[in-house]
Structure 1
């Protein structure tokens, strides 16, 4: 499902402008929303990295995409995970003149988004992205076997839980 959405967004929104869609972050829906919201990370033909807020509605077989905000990655001053001690998908993005508070679809997707932004910042801006309130263990690289980030994060959480269970059974 995610790859179909990414492919459709690439064709309908980004390819038209000559951009390449790198990552799509699904955002949590509120009760009164008919449309789904996403953050897209894309690279332009001149190697500018953009973060785009997209609203997507499906009308039978037609996909309608609207872009309400678009920022350059170099404008992002800080990404704040709010509270890394709890399993939450809430984060904020601090730009030059504004702060956006958002909620990802899942905690795993929030961490995958941060890893993507860090990678794009190192590759295209040659500097480290500033981030706070994320668990360091889940921010590091997780592409050892080309497994999707969400799956790697789930495996890490399961391994930690198994370690705790084994330790408790020893007592």
Structure 2
């Protein structure tokens, strides 16, 4: 099954930016046996799309082709048929009911466990699980080569990661250097475990050796934070000074406006006074003729008449808007 998963991931899902999480070999219930694979996949880009994909081996060659894909959000019910006894049959309720028979109960359980965890993670328990044991829904169920999603309800772990050419070459070299890699897998795993422990020890020693540099770095960071605090204090004081200068500038601007307004009013007042003086000034001769006029002689009468005319002109001067002189001031 591992080889099949590797081939499906490489040929079908990697080109579509999808990751294969679980697979089950099935055939349709009650019909002539034509095997296919149901695959649980997620997209590698966000937003994550979860799908159940039906894949079938081509009749014309040794390759697989994608037949149909259902969005997991469209799955309403998963019916495992029997929660107590082992039974390879199960139903998936999409727009219609699809009845399947798995090649083994273990593969079926692993696939249903994967669907349950994807439901917990992405659909917030939208799917109903019927005739499924509670233990299967509460625990991660590995089944030999067919691993489902592990890590509980919080995170879906990327189970499959395709090896690149460099990693495949390194594995081949490592297996060639160990005679028991193929004949005795346990001895090979034990050897890898010992080497891993040696590497872990080297990493710990390296971390301990770098502790001094870490302390120096922390000290520098503390000093930098102190400098930042001082800079913030200076900036605050500068801000207060700028605020004070701004207030003073506003006061000066207001004072300048008042001075300009006062000068303008003085100029207008002076202009009005000059106008009144020039147009309402009565000559001393006219004043004397009016006060001491001799109405018995023709010359005196003429002088009084001229003075009266001059006085009348002064009284009839048209004042500018805003100016008013009462009769008692004349």
Scaled by the length of structure 1, the TM-score of the pair is 0.72
> What is the root-mean-square deviation of aligned Cα atoms in Å?
2.2
Mapped contact 2:80–2:91 kept (Cα < 8 A): yes
**Aligned residue in 1 for 2:110:** 112
Mapped contact 1:117–1:129 kept (Cα < 8 A): no
How many pairs align? Answer: 140
Gaps (5+ residues) in structure 2? 145-330
Cα pair distance change 1:52/1:78, threshold 3 Å: same
Cα pair distance change 1:113/1:32, threshold 3 Å: closer
**Aligned residue in 1 for 2:119:** 121
**Aligned residue in 2 for 1:19:** 18
Cα shift at 1:31: 5.8
Distance in 1 (alpha carbons) for counterparts of 2:53 and 2:22: 10
Cα deviation digits, residues 73-132 of structure 1 (max 9, x gap): 00000000122233211010011x211000111111111111101111222223353100
**Aligned residue in 2 for 1:73:** 72
Cα shift at 1:32: 5.1
Distance in 2 (alpha carbons) for counterparts of 1:112 and 1:85: 16
Larger radius of gyration: 2
Are 1:103 and 2:101 counterparts?
yes
Distance in 2 (alpha carbons) for counterparts of 1:51 and 1:26: 13
Distance in 2 (alpha carbons) for counterparts of 1:15 and 1:58: 23
- After superposition, residues 130-141 of structure 1 pair within 5 angstroms as 130-141=128-139
**Aligned residue in 2 for 1:150:** 143
SS at match of 2:127: coil
| Higher RCO (CA < 8 A, seq sep 6+) | 1
SS at match of 2:85: coil
Cα deviation digits, residues 46-84 of structure 1 (max 9, x gap): 31001001112487xx63212222100000000001222
Cα pair distance change 1:101/1:31, threshold 3 Å: closer
Mapped contact 1:50–1:72 kept (Cα < 8 A): yes
User: Relative to total residues, which structure has the larger strand share, 1 or 2?
Assistant: 1
